[in-house]
Amino acid sequence: MTSGNSTRACRDIASSRRLRNDLHRSGISACRGFTLIELMIAVVVVAILAAIAIPSYSEYIRRSRITEATNELATLRIRLEQYYQDNRNYGSTASSCGVGVASTDSFVFSCSNNGADSQQFLATATGKGAVGMAGFSFTVDHNNNRQTTAFPGASGLPLNCWITRQGGTC
């Protein structure tokens, strides 16, 4: 591309007649990079997209962690029922269940039985504060009664279901 062609291509940038003439005489192209305004517009667009995307992504991650917890509780319940089929109780000690409880990065799981007769259990998943899941708690018992016992922003707790998203209901 010759100097004349680049000057013609960049007439919008070099708006004044005098500037165009000076650029043409010196052989300098006016199209050397981005203007400050163009860069500022790009920064504003990226900031707007980030302001929308980051909260949505955070909510998505929170929902996936809740789903992980409820799935683990359901799996624990099935393992306890299998243990019951073999042993006719949910645990041999007065305080713990007969199967080991799992651990995840975002929830702590616990299980307790009814003590003396070990014919009941209550499995609980409690959110870990270090990963932003503080205030979340879900339970399931031997009758498959599922409860949300703590959920930030929810009212009327405990609810007889597992809430999986903000503003969710049974």
Same domain, 48 and 107: yes
Q: How many CA atoms lie within 13 A of 46 on its CB side?
A: 6
- Do 29 and 41 fall into the same domain? no
Mean pLDDT of 97-119: 85
d(CA 151, CA 136): 5
What span, in angstroms and rounded, lies between the C-alpha atoms of 145 and 149?
12
11 occurs within a structural domain: yes
Q: Is residue 140 part of a domain?
A: yes
**Residue 123: pLDDT above 90?**
yes
User: 81 and 12 share a domain?
Assistant: no
Query: Does residue 76 lie within any of the structural domains?
Result: yes
Instruction: Answer yes or no: do 9 and 73 share one domain.
Output: no
Report CA 110 to chain centroid distance, whole Å: 23
Q: Is the pLDDT assigned to residue 23 strictly greater than 70?
A: no
The residues pairing with 148 across neighbouring beta strands, listed in sequence order, are 138, 159
For residues 116-123, average pLDDT = 84
Nearest to 7 by CA among 35, 33, 22: 22
pLDDT of residue 148: 95
Residues 1 and 66 in one domain: no
pLDDT value, residue 61: 92
106 shares its domain with 123: yes
Asked if residue 81 and residue 143 are part of one domain, the reply reads yes
End-to-end CA distance of the chain: 67
The Cα angle at residue 163 between residues 135 and 50, in degrees rounded to 5? 70
The pLDDT confidence band at residue 154, using thresholds 50, 70 and 90, is confident
Asked if omega into 152 is within 30° of 0 (cis), the reply is no
Residue 110's pLDDT is: 92
- Interval 85-106 mean pLDDT: 84
Q: Residue 143 belongs to what domain range? A: 37-150
For 130-145, letters b (16+ CB in 10 Å) and e give eeebeebbbbbebeee
% pLDDT > 90, the chain: 51
Say if residue 41 is in the same domain as residue 109: yes
Work out how many domains the chain is built from and give that number.
2
CATH number reported for the structural domain that contains residue 94 in this entry: 3.30.700.10
Query: Distance between CA 140 and CA 161 in Å, rounded?
Result: 9
- The residue among 90 and 137 whose pLDDT is bigger is 137
